[in-house]
Every structure is written in structure tokens, then in C-alpha cells.
Structure 1
């Protein structure tokens, strides 16, 4: 159980490291957020199996993570259509 906790912690830290280091590229930021959601899902799955609890909370978590992914993808598509790429340098926040 402790080895799995270390693996989940490493997965979460790698996702955070990618999120912080690649903050200028929207697609990589969205992919790292999905990786973080996946690592949190696996952690919750193992913990709920360990305490023998119902899995309805995981279904609710998956619903919200899918909505988050769809919202991020729609923002990415609208940004590419208006600005031509997904780099934050070309995106002016004042306009």
C-alpha cells in the first residue's frame, strides 16, 4: 500500500511540474491537468477499494473531469480559431 502511495505522489508531482514548467503552451497545460485528474482518480480508486466504500463518488468525479476536459478543449479550439495558435504570447488579455 505504501509503494502505491509513493507512485501516486510521484505521478501527482510530475503532473504539477509539467503544469508549472510549460505554462506558455495551452495544449500541454490541458494535457498536464488531465494527467493530474487521472492520478487523483487512481488515488481515489485505491483508497475507496482499501476502505471498502461505494464507487459512486468516482462516477461523480469522472463526470466532473469529463466536463472539465470538454471545457478546456472548447477554449483551445476557440483560441486557435481566433489567434491561429495556442501560445499565450500571441494572446492579448486586454482586447
Structure 2
């Protein structure tokens, strides 16, 4: 039973990575795939820490950092849409 859960978490992680690598046109899709990867890592940490009967404070720290990462990505997305009008990477010039 536990191996099935770990297999599902691994499949979630790989699907998030495949979407991140293949859909590089829109910033929003890349941010959503990164959050999906973070969610699969959170599930993995939850299963691992509950298996070894460890305190869940590490999960709280992980959630705080992932929320900060999501807020930073969302603010970059909003500023990019306001300045360029869309979230395409082709219209965004770093120079």
C-alpha cells in the first residue's frame, strides 16, 4: 500500500517536471508546474516524516517557503503582464 502512494508521488513529480520542460512559452504554466512539483515534494515529506514519527515542524517551514516562492512568482507574473501585456517569454527581453 505504501509503495503505491510513493509511486503516485513519483508520477506527480515527473509529470510536473515534464510540463515544466515542455511548456516554456507561458510564464503562468511554468509557475503552475513548479507549484505542482512543490506539492508532490510536500506529500513526499509528509509521508516520510509520518513514517519515522518525526515532528511536523519541517513541513511548516517547507510550506512557508513554498508560499513565499509562489507569491514571488505571482508578483513577477503580474509585473510582466503590466509592462508587456502578456506572459510570453518571447516578448520579454532581459537586455
Q: Which band: TM-score by shorter chain?
A: over 0.9
The unaligned stretches of length 5 or more in structure 1 are none
C-alpha deviation, 1:92, in angstroms: 1.1
Aligned residues: 94
1:19 is matched with 20
Q: Deviations over 1:1-43 (max 9, x none)?
A: 1111111110000000000000111000000000000000011
TM-score relative to the length of structure 2: 0.97
1:37 is matched with 38
1:66 is matched with 67
1:76 is matched with 77
How many angstroms apart in 2 are the aligned matches of 1:24 and 1:5?
31
How many angstroms apart in 1 are the aligned matches of 2:51 and 2:4?
14
2:90 is matched with 89
Secondary structure of 1:90's aligned partner: coil
TM-score relative to the length of structure 1: 0.97
Q: Deviations over 1:47-66 (max 9, x none)?
A: 11111100000000000000
